[in-house]
Amino acid sequence: MTDSPVRLLLADDHPVVRAGLRAVLETEPGMVVVAEAATAEEAVTRAARGDVDVVLMDLQFGKGMNGAEATAAIAARPGAPRVLIVTTYDSDADTLPAIEAGATGYLLKDAPPEDLADAVRTAAAGRTALAPAVADRLMHRLRTPGTTLTRRETEVLALVADGLSNQAIGRRLHLTEGTVKSHLARVYAKLDVDSRTAAVATAGSLGLIRR
């Protein structure tokens, strides 16, 4: 067991959020905030210096790279720090890309301070730290693989919810319009619905996409 502190990088585009995280974590024994980043790109660059153990990463940064993309870029490097997602979003459309990108943990911003500190320690030790709601849904996906949406189906449905046409979705995801229709057909079957509106409403109520 080492006495070295866990070195943290706070990546969030809201200064108030970064200040709140710093205030909570710097009161914890064995933790030190060594840097902050206001953009995902800045977080990737700063994490590469080699003096960070855990990156606390938001998912949405406005324009540019998002948190899941930054997580993938950080995790791809040898000896990379652990990435703990800290966000307000807990839909499958948010959690799955982040976890697939290599995030060690996923916590919601309304978590109690002690849960945040525990999640940081867990991530620093290389173990998975998941918000209970996220863990429950991942377990459900594992138990019922035939009825849960794939990541691509979730992406397509999230764009339907944003009001995009099949043609626009195809352009966004680099798919043919026919492939988009095929994904939607499988979504309808899995959710037992027969329209785009019903699919969006059902997926939102199940926490598969943001409401």
The 10 Å Cβ neighbour count of residue 164 is 17
Task: Flag whether pLDDT at 104 surpasses 90.
Answer: yes
pTM across the whole model: 0.78
* Residue carrying structure tokens 């540019």: 64
User: b/e string for 113-133 if b means 16 or more Cβ within 10 A?
Assistant: eeebbebbbbbbeeeebbbee
* CATH numbers and ranges of domains, the chain: 6-140 (3.40.50.2300), 151-206 (1.10.10.10)
* C-alpha 154: how far from chain center: 14
pLDDT in tens, 19-56: 999 999 999 999 999 999 999 999 999 999 999 999 99
Task: Flag whether pLDDT at 71 surpasses 70.
Answer: yes
pLDDT tier, 139 (very low <50, low <70, confident <90, very high otherwise): confident
Whether the CB-CB separation of 120 and 6 falls below 8 Å is answered with yes
Task: Flag whether pLDDT at 1 surpasses 50.
Answer: no
Question: Virtual CA dihedral for 106, 188, 194, 177, nearest 10 degrees?
Answer: 100
| Average pLDDT of the residues of the chain | 92
Hey, what are 104's tokens? 């060690």
Position with higher pLDDT, 140 vs 61: 61
